[in-house]
Amino acid sequence: MAKHKPDFEEVPPSKMIPISVKLNPTVLENMEAVRTRIKQNRNAYINLAIDAFNHYQRYKMVKEQITFESFETTPYYRFIIQELESINDYKLVQEF
Above 80 in pLDDT, residue 37? yes
pTM of the full structure:
0.59
Q: Residue range 29-52: average pLDDT?
A: 91
**What integer pLDDT is reported at residue 1 of this predicted model?**
47
Exposure class string for 66-89: b at 16+ Cβ within 10 A, else e: eeeeeeeeeeebeebeeebeeeee
